[in-house]
Structure 1
Amino acid sequence: MFNSTRIIWGLLMVAAVIIVALIDQFFINFIIFGILLFLAFNEAKKLFNLEKVSIIPLALAFILGTMISKPLFLGILATLLILGYQVYKKSNLKPVLIYLYPSLPILALWQVYLGHGMFALFWLILIVASCDSAAYFIGKLMGKTPFSPTSPNKTLEGVIGGLVFASIFGTLIGIFVYGFWLSLFCSFFSAFMAVIGDLLESYFKREAGIKDSGDLIPGHGGLLDRIDAVIIAAFVMVSFL
C-alpha cells in the first residue's frame, strides 16, 4: 500500500536537512544551494527541451545577489534582461521559461535564508514536508475524491488533511519566534502554495510527456520532483516575514 523506498529516502532527506540546519555554516549552505540550482536547472532544460539555454545569467544573479542578500531581485532583473534581448532579436520567448521556473523560486528560497536565517528556512521546509506527508498518508488511507486532473493521484481528502496538519504543525513551531497569527498565516499559505507548486511541476511533466523530472532520488524521481513544493512556498516567506 505504501512505497517503502519513498518512505526510506524521505527519512534520509529529512535527516540530511536536519544535519545541515544544525551545522548552519554559510559557506556550506552556499555550496549546497549552488548545487541545487545547477541540478534543477539541468532537469528543467530537459523538461522544457531547452538544452542550449545558458546558466551563466542565473549563476551571476545567485552569486551577486548573495552579496546583497537579494538574489531573487537580481534573478528577476536577469530574467527581464533576457526577455528584452529575446524580444529585441524577435526570437522565441520559450527560453525565458527556464529562468521563471525553477530558477526564480530557488533564488526566493535562498533569499529566505539570507534574510531570515536558518530557522525560517527550516520552518518552511517542515511546513511543506508535513503537508506533503500528511496528504500522502491521509490520501492513501481515506482519499476517495480526485483533486485535480493535473495530478490524478492526489485526493481532495489528502490535500485538505495536509493543509490542516501543516497549518497546525507549522504554527506550533513558528509561534515561538513570530507570534500566533503570523505563524498561522505563513503556515497555511506556505502549505497552500506548496500544493500549487506540486501541481505546477505535474503540469510541466504532463506537457513534456514524462513521469518524473529525473531519477536522482530513488522513490521520488528528480530533484524538482522533491523541491517543487518548497520553492514555490518560499514566496510566502519572502513576502511576509
Structure 2
Amino acid sequence: MFNATRIFWGLGIVLAVILMALIDKFFINFIVFAALFYVAFEEAKKLFKLENESIIPLVLAFLIGTFSKEALLCGILALLLMLGFLVYKKAQNLNPALLYLYPSLPLFALWQLYLDNGMFAVFWLIIIVAACDSGAYFIGKFMGKTPFSQTSPNKTLEGVIGGVILAVILGSIVGLFVYDFWLCFFCSFAVAIFAVIGDLLESYFKRQAGVKDSGNLIPGHGGILDRIDALLIATFAMVTFL
C-alpha cells in the first residue's frame, strides 16, 4: 500500500535537514544550497527542453546576492536582464527566461529567507511543507476518495485538507519556539496553501513535458524538483510573513 523506498529516503532527507540545522555553519549551508541550485537548474533545463542555457549568469547573481544580502533582488534583476536580452535579440520566444523564473527565483527567495532570518526559519518552513506533504500522502491513502485536481490525479481533496491541517498544527507548535502564536498559525496556514500550489505547478510542468519525474536522483522520490516543488512556492509565503 505504501512505497517503502519513498518512506525510507524521505526519512533520510528529514534527518539530513535536522543535521544541517543543528550544525548551522554558513559555509556548509552555502555549499549545500549552491549544489541544490545547480541540480534543480539542470533538471529544469530538461523539463523545459532548454538544455543549451547556461547557469553562469545565475551563479553571478547568487554570489552577488550572498555578499550583498540581497539574494531575492539579485534574482529578480537576473530575470529582468534575461528578458531584456531576449527582447534585444528579438528572440522567437521568451522561453529561456522560464529557467530564471522557476526554479531560480524561488531558490533565491529561499536563500534570502536564510540570509535574513537564519536556519531556524528555513527549518520551520521545511517542517511545515513536509507535514503538509506527508499528511496529504498518508491521509489520502487511508481516507482519500474525492479527486482534487486533474493536474495531479493521485491527489485527493481529503488528503490535501488533512495535509494542510497537520501542517498548521505542527507548524504552529514548532514556530512557537521563536515567534508568537498568531504569526505561527497564519504563517503555517499560508505556507501550507502555497505548498499545495507549488506541488500542482510542478505536476503541471511535468505533464506538459510528458514525464513522470523531473529526475531520478532520489530513489522513490524522483529528482530534486520533485522533492522541493512545494517548498519553492511556499517560500514566498514565509518570506512575506517574516
Q: TM-score, normalised by structure 2?
A: 0.98
Shift of residue 175 of structure 1?
Answer: 2.0
Corresponding letter in the other structure for 1:54: S
Shift of residue 88 of structure 1?
Answer: 1.3
Corresponding letter in the other structure for 2:197: I
After TM superposition, list the pairs within 5 Å mapping 1:26-37 onto structure 2. 26-37=26-37
Shift of residue 181 of structure 1?
Answer: 0.9
Alignment match, 2:53: 53
Alignment match, 2:157: 156
Question: What CA distance in whole angstroms lies between the structure 1 residues aligned with 2:159 and 2:45?
Answer: 31
Instruction: Tell me whether 100-109 or 231-240 shows the greater mean CA deviation.
Output: 231-240
Alignment match, 2:170: 169
After TM superposition, list the pairs within 5 Å mapping 1:39-188 onto structure 2. 39-91=39-91, 92-188=93-189
Query: Deviation string for 1:99-119 (max 9, x for gaps)?
Result: 100000011111111100011
Question: What CA distance in whole angstroms lies between the structure 2 residues aligned with 1:34 and 1:170?
Answer: 26
Query: Deviation string for 1:157-188 (max 9, x for gaps)?
Result: 00000001100110111123110111111100
Question: What CA distance in whole angstroms lies between the structure 2 residues aligned with 1:4 and 1:70?
Answer: 41
1:23 equivalent to 2:27? Answer no
Question: What CA distance in whole angstroms lies between the structure 1 residues aligned with 2:217 and 2:76?
Answer: 28
After TM superposition, list the pairs within 5 Å mapping 1:220-239 onto structure 2. 220-239=221-240
Question: What CA distance in whole angstroms lies between the structure 1 residues aligned with 2:227 and 2:22?
Answer: 21
Shift of residue 28 of structure 1?
Answer: 0.4
Corresponding letter in the other structure for 1:77: L
Question: What CA distance in whole angstroms lies between the structure 1 residues aligned with 2:241 and 2:131?
Answer: 21
Query: Deviation string for 1:135-178 (max 9, x for gaps)?
Result: 10000000000000000000000000000110011011112311
| Identity between Structure 1 and Structure 2 (%) | 70
Corresponding letter in the other structure for 2:143: M
Q: TM-score, normalised by structure 1?
A: 0.99
Shift of residue 61 of structure 1?
Answer: 1.1
Alignment match, 2:10: 10
Question: What CA distance in whole angstroms lies between the structure 1 residues aligned with 2:176 and 2:18?
Answer: 20
State the superposition RMSD in angstroms.
0.7
Question: What CA distance in whole angstroms lies between the structure 1 residues aligned with 2:189 and 2:119?
Answer: 20
Moved over 6 A (4+): none
Question: What CA distance in whole angstroms lies between the structure 2 residues aligned with 1:209 and 1:202?
Answer: 10
Which ranges of structure 1 fall in alignment gaps of 5 or more residues? Answer: none
User: SS at the partner of 2:54?
Assistant: coil
Question: What CA distance in whole angstroms lies between the structure 1 residues aligned with 2:201 and 2:207?
Answer: 10
Question: What CA distance in whole angstroms lies between the structure 1 residues aligned with 2:201 and 2:69?
Answer: 27
Query: Deviation string for 1:184-210 (max 9, x for gaps)?
Result: 111001011000000000000000000
Shift of residue 57 of structure 1?
Answer: 1.2
Question: What CA distance in whole angstroms lies between the structure 2 residues aligned with 1:36 and 1:162?
Answer: 25
Corresponding letter in the other structure for 1:25: K
